Structure 1
Amino acid sequence: MIAMQYKISLPDNYDMNVIRQRVADNGHRTDGFQDLIFKAYLISEKRDSSKSCNEYSPLYIWQNNDGMNKFIFDGYYDNILSSFGWQKINIGIPITCCLGKDFNLSKFALEIEHEITPMKQMKAINFSLEKDDCTSKVLIYNPDKWKYVEYYFYKDRPIKKTIGKIYSILHLSQ
């Protein structure tokens, strides 16, 4: 499996309804895409908090690189380039991908980022939230940056946790 995500930061005054409409019009195009386990169309919006920002951050989990390569190089990613310009695509390795039976009902995602600190012996990476009411969860690591990210998916907006960022899910392609 391969994880892929690009995080597009948008101005504070950006009308996020433009993204909502974009996903409403086009989100179905990745339904059933080759080798795609899922694509979560994630957005966050500028709120009163200084920590939040307007962001469009689709998260992909691919079964293998064939579908990912097709998406990037066969014209599909060109829609991002023409709308938002050159974006860095973050690549990671899913160490755990637990999709529950209610995953497709998820409306929110909690993202928790971590550093992997130097150690003499490698230790397993685990989820930080032990008992949680999520529909699904994914743990992705990147040894190039020595970071890992936890994603928890929910039907209802989770209580704001200071340890992570909450995204709204506009569409889930599977």
Structure 2
Amino acid sequence: MHAMQYEITLPADYDMGVIRHRVESKGHLLDDFPGLGFKAYLMRERGRDGSPVNQYAPFYLWNTAEGMNSFLWGPGFQGLVDDFGRPVVQNWTVLAYEEGDAAGAVPRTAVRRHQRIAAPTPLSEYAGELAAETRRLARRRGAVSALTAVDPRTWEAVHFSLWEHEAPDVPGDVFQVLHLSAPEREKLPRGRQW
């Protein structure tokens, strides 16, 4: 599995209703996309939930590399590039994925936290700790799902979780979930991925 996110940071006075309308009118287009576990259409608004910026930042969990590549090289992503310019696309290898106790709920909030992996850290031991953190997040009340993924180029982990309620008491950047496309969510393998 591959996790992926890009961030489009917008001016402080940007009308975020434009982003809401974009998701309302186009979000359903990925509801049947092959290879996509889920896409969370995320937005942050300056001054809300501690956000310093206005930002559109969708987060993807891909079941297949083919699906991810079809999206990146296809008309959907090109439409975003045409409207906002080509963003840097962050990509991580998934270490662990868990469904939460509220797996059937529609998520309202997402939390993302980055964590550096220090050089002297024994990687096999640390991977187990990261997978355990995913399980802990998924077991919290209101968790829809949780995952941990790593970029081995920078040795940075990202913890990502979806929640059925607003602003959970979990450290990280808080996003509003405007829509969730989840055509192959039921096919996502659970637990550690090694």
Query: What's the TM-score once normalised by structure 1's chain length?
Result: 0.91
Moved more, 7-16 or 120-129: 120-129
Query: Partners in 2 of 1:83 and 1:49 — Cα distance?
Result: 27
1:16-165 alignment runs, 5 A limit: 16-47=16-47, 51-100=51-100, 102-119=103-120, 121-122=122-123, 123-124=126-127, 125-126=129-130, 127=133, 132-133=140-141, 134-159=143-168, 161=170, 163-165=171-173
* Structure 1: runs of 5 or more not aligned: none
- The Cα shift of 1:102 comes to 2.5
The aligned length equals 173
Partner of 2:178 in structure 1? Answer: 170
Aligned residues: percent identity?
29
Q: Counterpart in 1 of 2:188? A: none
Matched to 1:172, the amino acid is L
Structure 1 residue 119: Cα displacement: 1.4
Q: Distance in 2 between matches of 1:89 and 1:62?
A: 14
CA drift at 1:104? 4.8
Asked if 2 retains the 8 angstrom alpha-carbon contact of 1:138 and 1:150, the reply is yes
The CA distance in 1 between the partners of 2:90 and 2:162, in whole Å, is: 20
Report the alpha carbon displacement of residue 69 of structure 1 after superposing the two structures with TM: 1.0
Partner of 1:11: 11
SS of corresponding position for 1:77: helix
Structure 2 unaligned segments of length 5 or more: list them: 183-194
Report if aligned partners of 1:112, 1:164 keep a CA contact under 8 Å in 2. Answer: yes
Q: Which runs of 4+ in 1 moved over 3 A?
A: 48-51, 128-131
Secondary structure at the counterpart of residue 76 of structure 1: helix
Residue 186 of structure 2: aligned partner: none
Q: What is the CA distance between 1:111 and its match in structure 2?
A: 1.1
Q: Which residue type is aligned with residue 143 of structure 1?
A: P
**For 1:80-127, what per-residue CA distance to the aligned partner results, in whole angstroms no more than 9, with x for missing partners?**
111110211111011111134635511101111111110152222422
Amino acid at match of 2:52: S
TM (norm. structure 2) is 0.82
**CA-atom RMSD, angstroms?**
2.0
Measure the CA separation in 1 of the matches of 2:121 and 2:50.
37
Cα distance, 1:22 vs structure 2: 0.2
Contact 1:137-1:150 within 8 A present in 2 as well: yes
**Structure with a larger share of its residues in helix:** 2
The structural deviation recorded for 1:64 is: 1.3
SS in structure 1 at match of 2:66: helix
